[in-house]
Amino acid sequence: MLKVRRIPIDTYPENTAFVLRHGNGYSPEQFQALRKIRISCEGGEILATLAIVDDDSIIGADEIGLGEQAFKRFGLAEGTSVTIAQARPPASLEYVRRKIDGDVLRESEVAAVIRDIAHHRYSPMEIGAYLVACAGFMSTPETLALTKAMIDVGNRLHWDSPLVVDKHCIGGIPGNRTSMIVVPIVAAHGLLCPKTSSRAITSPSGTADTMEVLANVDLSEAQMKAIVAKEHAVLAWGGRVDLSPADDVLISVERPLRLDKHEQMVASILSKKVAAGSTHLVIDIPVGPTAKVRSHSDAVRLRKLFEYVARHLGLVTDIVFTDGSQPVGRGIGPVLEVRDVMAVLHNEPDAPEDLRDHAVMLAGHMLDFDPALEGGKGYARALEMLASGKALEAMQRLIDAQGRQTQHFEPGVHQAEVKASRSGRVVAIDCERIARIARLAGAPMDKGAGLDLLHKVGADVQAGDALYRVYANAEAGLGFALDLAQENSAYEIS
């Protein structure tokens, strides 16, 4: 028997267990080839990756250390007695092997895999194996089964309404911060729009990161319910309420591998939306040469997959193809995006037009879900909510209801301009590269880091004109970003 000890080491997303190499009668080296051990007590068991310790000041011979993930997930008090053994691989790994061999899995088999993944019984390597096998081939029914399984293992929010609207963009376009405009418009009109958003994983900012510049986004389910009851809407971070936890685990592996197959994207997005209680969903698919979807035919294939899975889940969808040829708005990064969003909500004359048009169009599609509106009037109604200032008022009420941010954020103090190397017309801006530059500057952890695009596609520039300004609060971040920008500015000028 070993006693549990908390080890203040965070190996997110993996569970790690620390065991002394000698003196505990366990010969932990015998477990090392397969790395994973099973830690058991009367109350349950957990699987963890083994780290062997050679210093008894870190862990005693009669102890087992649990890293922060494992300690929290196992939930045992320090000092609890446990036993360890070689982990038996989860039985569902047999299905993964069959998937690797090209099989189509049944609904119950997909469910077993997802249950084990959500309960952290798979290592990142095993999750990677499943995802790569799925990337090779996945049938439409398997995609549906995956989505259902992901919904089933998580929490589900229920709103007492037959019409709960939401929107989602598949991502990939920096600055595309429409939710913070769309949600206030829809709320001002009076539809229920409880929006949960993610933080950025590999992009320069997620809606939750940007909204946090203005308000608290870390809301409990009860807080969200209270706010929605009063304001019809909320703009919260989804991570707190445990929607589709398997998705979070899958994403932690998909992102480093840059896996972005349609099937996995559809399952990820729709499982989160159904779990969040949405009934009507507008999906924004930007199409462009550096966007996630690069051709019209790909966009159509993706749309059909969204429609198939959503229909079987009873979710009404309206899928919109948008211009994904360049970033949206001017600012990239939390503080700079907030500036653009607020300029639109304030109806400032120099607010970025593309951001405003894009947001109003999406809000219009959402309002068209309202049976009380005459067909096709959604767009006009959305414009009205924005122009009248009602959307701005709704946003201010939301900020107050969620809790106004007490910290004040400014654009990063270290700044530099990236200049055009030749004269001509801007014909393209590479979304992927812009995102990487902003990310290297420090966004989204550094709220003030990012880029300000001074010219967009179609502009005529002279050699030496500033194309964009980079902001960072850490000098190193500015340096990293400029290094990448020097290689290639992301602007194509012809």
- 259: contact with a copy of itself by CB under 8 A: yes
Q: Which is nearer to a copy of itself, 26 or 369 (CB)?
A: 26
Annotated catalytic residue, options 260, 298, 318, 323: 260
The encoded tokens of residue 448 equal 């003030």
For the purposes of burial, counting CB atoms within 10 Å of the CB of 468, is it exposed (0-12), middle (13-18) or buried (19 or more)?
Answer: buried
Q: Which stretch binds a copy of itself (CB under 8 A): 50-58, 233-241, 242-250, 363-371?
A: 50-58
> Least separation, in Å, of the C-beta of 228 and a copy of itself?
29
- 237: contact with a copy of itself by CB under 8 A: no
* Residue 228 CA: distances (Å) to CA of 77, 195, 233, 364, 371: 37, 10, 5, 21, 20
CA 447 to CA 433: how far, in whole Å?
19
Site for a copy of itself, residues 157 to 216, rule: CB under 8 A: 201-202
> Least separation, in Å, of the C-beta of 382 and a copy of itself?
34
Q: Where are the alpha helices (DSSP H) in 262-377?
A: 262-275, 296-312, 334-345, 353-367
- 450: contact with a copy of itself by CB under 8 A: no
- 32: contact with a copy of itself by CB under 8 A: yes
Site for a copy of itself, residues 57 to 116, rule: CB under 8 A: 58, 67-68, 85-86, 89, 93, 96-97, 100-102
Phi, psi angle pair for 83, to nearest 5°: -115, 160
Distant-in-sequence, close-in-space partners of 474: CB < 8 Å, separation ≥ 6: 414, 442, 446, 449
Q: Which is nearer to a copy of itself, 133 or 341 (CB)?
A: 133
Q: Which is nearer to a copy of itself, 331 or 442 (CB)?
A: 442
CA 145 to CA 181: how far, in whole Å?
34
> Least separation, in Å, of the C-beta of 101 and a copy of itself?
8
Phi, psi angle pair for 106, to nearest 5°: -80, 165
DSSP of 57-95 = TTS-TTEEEE-HHHHHHH-PPTT-EEEEEEPPPPTTHHH
- 486: contact with a copy of itself by CB under 8 A: no
Q: Which is nearer to a copy of itself, 32 or 220 (CB)?
A: 32
Collapsed DSSP state (helix, strand, coil) of residue 221: helix
Chain positions contacting a copy of itself, by CB under 8 A: 8-12, 16, 18, 21, 25, 27, 29-30, 32-36, 49, 51-55, 58, 67-68, 85-86, 89, 93, 96-97, 100-102, 123-129, 131-133, 135-136, 201-202, 252-253, 255-259, 440, 442, 445-446, 474, 480
Known catalytic residues are: 260
